[in-house]
Structure 1
Amino acid sequence: MAARHASVKLSTDFLEEARREAEAFNRSLGAQVEHWARIGRRFENAPGVGIDRVRAALEGRLRLEDLSEAEQDAVMGRMGDPWDAQTEAHYAELGRKDGAVGRDGQGRLVRREGGRLRPVG
């Protein structure tokens, strides 16, 4: 069955944001907007996720670390729509760059500086 498409009106500001993200992840503009829509849909439909938490996360007032495991699974795409290998590779590449922040093998928050992991804080 052939893919069906529809046109929608989106603000120029939103499209510019999506364009920047699309370039960073090597996606088309349409694919980026669809990606964001899928994340939003998964998050809104995650069991036990209240609309207030959805809004707070989307507005940047709620950090990923503050979400429950089920909410994180919804946001990160582990509920029936796994990340593709390209997305995994992209995040792995970002994690190898200087300035990247993440968790080491013991779960401590670290920043990559000069090729080495240094504790944050």
Structure 2
Amino acid sequence: MAQEAIMAQSVKLGDDIMALVRREADLRSRSVAGQLTHWVRIGRAIERAGNFDYARITAALEGRLDTTELGEEEEAAWLDEFTAKMAEPSATETAFFGKRRQLGRGVGLDAGGNLVYAEDDAGA
């Protein structure tokens, strides 16, 4: 069986899409090409499956549906969205930790599990 040569292809994508791809690639420790390939495969699988329901993913993100009830494609989409949501603090969380910093209280844990105080990271 002969093996076909795989050649790189150029595609024009908007700056907003590329920023998203780069961010996700960094979060998932993938190359930009690897992230795009991953998303293309997920999208293709979703289109081919015909059993992808975004309302179910939304319900799982809101806690109204157990993730074990999601199909494989739905679970992959849920995980991507869940990870993105967890990476970005809500306005309430930002305000909470901002107030803790102002009061000089602990604002998190370091890699060793030790409490970090506002004055410890003031120069960061």
Report the TM range for the smaller structure's normalisation: 0.3 to 0.5
Q: Scaled by the length of structure 1, what TM-score is found? A: 0.45
Could you say which structure has the higher helix fraction?
2
Q: Which has the higher contact order (CA 8 A, sep 6+)?
A: 1
Q: Scaled by the length of structure 2, what TM-score is found? A: 0.44
